[in-house]
Structure formats: structure tokens, C-alpha cells
Chains A and B, each alone.
Chain A
């Protein structure tokens, strides 16, 4: 297990390095941030000063080398726009996005799996057909449109829930969170539902397919021949087998929810990372873009590692390579 973790860590570092080179070169080629940052009335002297201050007069490999050595020391550079450490900026916005993403994930799992199991067990029932129709809608309707409709209905027409912001937050282990106050929770509901809708649909369809496939297996027939109750067969024999493909997909989806919550965050003015990165790209704020992408890469690597470990827990046939038997 230790050998396995060591090898995975090494792979992650390698991925981060390759990623940083690609992004650095990519961002370098997009355009000159000075043109965006400086007002048109600035004198050539002011312009030169800023270019020098940002280190943009150096050749690209020197700039990259500076970035690399600094980042090894934990410094991912200062944002051009905010003139603050990029890492700090991102980390200050991260809890909001993470909270939203995890809420969406919890919804996807706790709504999607039961509905999917039901639709798989009783595929001919009217309720199952309704569930499947719902999942098609959840798949195909655009997130921003659903977001707007939710705001229209619940905030504007009915006035039940707030339409924007995080509401009141409290500190949990030094991190501000919304879900522990009524006000925060009320602010969280709509964006979380909005973000979860696609994932719920995905989980429903995957679970249903898994359950239907599993029910045809010979070991389910054998389980019935043993005289087990239906509940035992569904919740132990079927569900555990269905979880195997689900874990992989949910893991990957968690990563994409965190990285691409932009649309929902924009619709609900949720103060998360998504808004930050969009602005950073607009301003060509190189350190911020770089730092954001590095963090996302790191997060994906971590999630994949957790998924692989969970996988070996659920499926005994999977043994982690390099692990001790």
C-alpha cells in the first residue's frame, strides 16, 4: 500500500509538472496581459515599469524557471489584478465552491441511487417511466436555463428562497460554511439543486442499468434459491455490485463539478472559484490562471486516488498494484 501511494504521488507530481509547462506556454501565447491591465492613458515609462515589475521582459524560459522555483517553495505568484498571492485568492473562494459541489454530489447520490434502484427493479411501472423521463430532461436541459427558471419560480414568483449570494456563514474548522445556518441553507438550496440536476440524471441512469444487469446474474438466482428476503437481495447483493461502476463515475463527476461550477455560480452570484477564473481569463491574469489550473489538477489526481482506493474496498477482485498481499 505504501509503495502504491508513493508511486501515485510521484505520478501526480509528474502530471503537475507537465501541466504547468503546457499551461505556461499556452497562457504566454494568448496575448500580452499588459495591454489589458494598463489604461490607455499610461505613459511609455509607466508601461515599461509595469512590464519590468511583473517580470514580463524576461525570456519565457526564465519566467517559467522563476515560476517553477517559486512554486516549489509554495509561492504561485501574485495576481496581476488583485496584487495578492494567487493561491490565497483561490483558497479564499474554494470553500464556497466545494460546499456547493459536495451538496450537489450528496443530492445526486441520495436522490439518484434510490430512484435508479426503483427504476431498475420495476422497469415497467409508471413511476419508473416518470423517473426515466425526468432523467432525460435533467440530461438535456441546459444548466443556465434551469437555473434561471428556478430563480424565476422560487425567488421571484413564490418568494420562498433567495436568488443570490451565500447568505449567513459560520466558521467550521476555520472555514466559512453556509449549510449550518438557516439563512445559509436557504441560499444553498437552489444552486445545489441546479448543479445536481445533471448528476442526479446521470446517477439514475447508471444505477438503473447496473441493477437491471445485476438482476439477470446467476448469483441473484442462487441468492433467491437460498430463500433470502427481497430486501436482503436488493440492498446487499444487487446494490454492492451496482456501486462498482458508480464510484468511478461519481468520482470523476465530483472533479468536474468543482472545476466547472462556473455556470451555476454565475446564475446565482455564488462567490466561488468559477467566477474568479472567468475574470482571470478575461484579464489575462497569468498567475491566477496558472494557480487555479494547478489546484484543479491536484484535486483531480486526489479524487482519482480516492476512487481507486474505494474501488478496491468495494470490489475484492481489484488489488492495488504494488500493494502487499
Chain B
């Protein structure tokens, strides 16, 4: 294995709740190769967004990264200073957020919001060069007549177009890693499809690694090469996308897959995982999923490590769903 562009080792991020530091994510290990697209999948509250924000160094008080390393091209971001982090953010590693209606500042023009992303990392860049690069970036993400659109304000764009602007901003400095936190969830399906295929193309062209955070397995299926499934702040299963979708090992992953209503016959009741995602200060001991799991036994309350089920294939379960030997 060559050196990955991004590797997260033993990450733990805690939040102070009623005077106690409670881990929102723990024991998170993941890596992204150059140009690779990985999926980070889980329900709301599974810790996938916290993982993304931790990588960006955007965890605010009362939250804090308490353990682990985040290596970007070998440089540890957890121990990096505030100013160094700022230099890396937006330049070497960029993020796209869920709601395109909220990510752009309503009172600033698009050119202001794009050009500042360039000048923040290169104070000597002249306005003309910056403008040209912004215009090209808008064109690259499929925004028609980019020259005019630069002068527009966010409210003059549709949701899909705003997300394209956000993507263009994220790509401006040709980052090594892009974290995309459910960027298509708020968009309708046709726009979602366009943006997915464009992201795929852009990553291939620029060689950026992409971490696609989502709860939507259908998105993961077409876009990613490898998938990490998160539950209760931990990675419970990982592997190549086809393996995960065809032969889930963890009962939670199977539950997630069954929750997608694609094989349903009309009139048949839809499948749902019983129970609720646990609150972060009331995590069950051992396997976090065992209170909702049909296969749970007393052993599920003990410590369960990630164990290998083949090359690049791991799961955190004592009752793995493996039929064949």
C-alpha cells in the first residue's frame, strides 16, 4: 500500500455534556488514497459529520479531539497549530456542506466569496488572476455564463446551482482531500445525479481524494470504491462497496440495506430497524447496536474489536453474517 493522502488513526472526539467529556466518535480509523472516493455511511447521530468536521479541524467548544492522529500527506493535523490549520483548510483539504441554501453568505457577491478563498492562501495573487480562476472554476462545475454569474448574489441561484458554487469554491485551490457532508441530500434526484457524476469526474481529473458522507446507500453504490459504515460513533464495518452491499457482515449494515425500499412489492410493509439511535451520553456498553439487534447475546456487551473478514474487509461484530465458509 502506498502512502494514503489522508489517514485517520484512532480518532476520538469528545463533547462536554453536563460537565462530562462524552465521546461522540471513538476508535475511528480510515484512509483515503489519492483520487479515491470513499463513503462514510450511517444514520443521523452516528458520528459521521463529527468525523468530517474533526478532519477539517472545525470542532468547536464544547467539543474537542481528545485522541488520535489525522495525517494529511504525512502531516498530523491534530497537533498542528491554529494558523497552520487555517493554511491547510481550504487549500489542501476542503469541505462541502449539506444545505446549499445556507452555505453561502447571503449579503456577499459570489466573486467576493470565491476570490477570498484564493487570497486567504495566496496573499500575493492579483485580482485579475483570481477572477479568471474563479470564472474557470464556475465553468468547470457546469454553471452557464460564469462571467456574469460571478457578479450575482446567492439568492439569485437555485439550490443545485448554489451547491455547484460551493463545490467550485472547494475545488479552487485544488485540494488533496474533499470532505462532502451529504451535499446532495437537500437537492432533487435529477440534480443529485448530475452533481454526483460531476464530482466523480472532478476527482478523477484533479486527483483529489473524496470522503462522501451520507445516509443514502444508493448514492454510495454508484459513486464510491470503499465504504465505512458508522454506528454510535464507531466504525462497525468497512470494505469494498460491492462486498458491503451484497454481503453485509454487521447486522446493522444489513438493516441499513434493507431499509432502502428498492426490492419492495407494492402494499408490502416497509422494513425498519427497530428502536432508535442512542443519544451520545447514553451509549450502551460493548456493541452499540446490540439493544436493537435481533442476534444479540450477552457477549455483545463486552469489548468488540474490528476483526478481519478478508482483504480490506473488517467488521466489529461477534455474530457476523457470513453464510459461506
Contact = CB atoms under 8 A, between A and B. Distances in A.
Contacts, number: 76
A83 B117 CA distance: 67
A316 B89 contact: no
Interface stretch (A15-23, A71-79, A218-226, A248-256): A218-226
Interface string B26-57: 00000000000000000000000000000010
Interface in B225-284: none
B90 A226 contact: yes
Nearest to B53: A221
Interface in A217-240: 217-219, 221-229, 232, 236-237, 240
Given A225-B90, A240-B107, A317 B153 contact: yes
A237 B103 CA distance: 12
A217 B94 CA distance: 18
A213 interface: no
Interface string A163-196: 0000000000000000000000000000000000
Contacts of B285: none
Given A314-B107, A316-B107, A232 B120 contact: yes
Contacts of B117: 226-228
Contact of B120 (A221, A222, A229): A229
A218 B90 contact: no
B280 to A, nearest CB: 20
Nearest to B153: A316
A241 interface: yes
Contacts of A222: 95, 97, 103-104, 166
Contacts of B193: none
Given A218-B99, A229-B86, A223 B153 contact: no
Contacts of A244: 107
Contact of A226 (B99, B116, B153): B116
B58 A226 contact: no
B313 interface: no
B194 interface: no
Contact of A227 (B91, B103, B106): B91
B87 interface: yes
Interface string B48-70: 00000000101000000000000
B295 interface: no
Contact of A225 (B56, B109, B155): B56
Nearest to A124: B61
B116 A232 contact: yes
A228 B102 contact: no
Contacts of A316: 106-107, 109, 153, 155
A226 B105 CA distance: 13
Closest 10 pairs between A and B when the two form their complex, measured CB to CB? A227-B90, A218-B102, A227-B89, A226-B90, A316-B153, A225-B95, A226-B117, A222-B103, A219-B105, A228-B120
